[in-house]
Amino acid sequence: MDNAEQKLKVLVVDDDNRILQILKLYLLKEGYDVLTCERGDTALDMALKCSPNIVILDVMLPGMDGWEVLSNLRRTSGVPVIMLTAKGDITDRIQGLEFGADDYIVKPFEPKELLARVKAVLRRSSPAEQPEVRSVTIGSLSVSIENYTVLLDGKKLEMPPKEIELIHFFTTHPNRVYTRDQILDFVWGVGYFGDSRTVDVHIKRLRDRLGESADWEIETIWGVGYRFNIKK
C-alpha cells in the first residue's frame, strides 16, 4: 500500500471488543489509520468530527443502533459505510441499502473478506480512481463526477458516492435501456458481491431525492431494467 493509501482513516464500530481488536489488527497491518468505538451515539460524533474515509458499522449497538447512526450520518455526510449484520435476510440487506449503506457483510465473516470489501468500496468511492472526468447538465440537474457533486435547481444535494455514480452513469448514457445486471457491472463493477435488487433500491432513492422533472425521467422498463430519458 502506498503512502497516500496509508493515510486513509477507517472507523470501526462494534460492541464486541474482540471483533474490534481483530479488525483493528488486520486494518493496521494493511496500513490504514484505525479508530474504534463500541457505542452508536459516540460513533456518530466520531464520524462527524474525525472525518474517516470509510465506516465499518455494526447494526446492534448500545446508545443508538447502526440503522439510526447511518440515517443520521447520511443527513450531512456521504462517507462510505459498510454494515455488519448478524442477519442474512434479504429484508435486512435492503434496509441497509435504503438507509444509504454502500455494502454489507454478514457475521460471522473472514477478516480478509472484509478487507477486500473495504478496498473495493474505497476504490469505487474515490474520484481519483474514476477513468472519466465529466460534468453533465440536463435542465435543472447538474452532475459532476470530477468533484462528486449533484446540483438540482442550483442547490447541492448530499448524496452517497454510489448514488452520484449511478446518476452520472444515467445522464451520460441517456435514452437507452439497461438491464439491472448491466447497471451493476457498469456502476458497481463486475466483482460486486450484491444482487440486482441493489439497483432497484438505489434508483428508488434517486427518484426520492430528485423528484419529477419536465426535462428527464428514470423510466422503469418492466421485466427488463431502466432507461434515463431526456424529454427535450
Provide the residue ranges of all domains of the chain, joining segments of one domain with +.
Answer: 3-125, 130-230
DSSP letters, 143-199, are EETTTTEEEETTEE----HHHHHHHHHHHHSTT-EEEHHHHIIIII-TT--S-THHH
Query: Regarding predicted confidence, which is higher, 108 or 163?
Result: 163
Report pTM.
0.58
DSSP bridge partners of 178? 226
In sequence order, which residues have a C-beta less than 8 Å from that of residue 157 and are 6 or more positions away? 150, 151, 209, 210
CATH of 130-230, one of 1.25.40.80, 3.30.360.10, 1.10.10.10, 3.20.20.80: 1.10.10.10
Asked if pLDDT for residue 2 goes beyond 60, the answer is no
pLDDT of amino acid 192: 66
In sequence order, which residues have a C-beta less than 8 Å from that of residue 198 and are 6 or more positions away? 97, 184, 188, 192
pLDDT in tens, 215-226: 999 999 887 889
pLDDT of amino acid 165: 92
Q: What fold is seen in the domain 3-125?
A: Rossmann fold (3.40.50)
Asked if pLDDT for residue 129 goes beyond 60, the answer is no
What does each C-alpha distance from 35 to 27, 61, 79, 189, 210 come to in angstroms?
Answer: 10, 16, 15, 28, 34
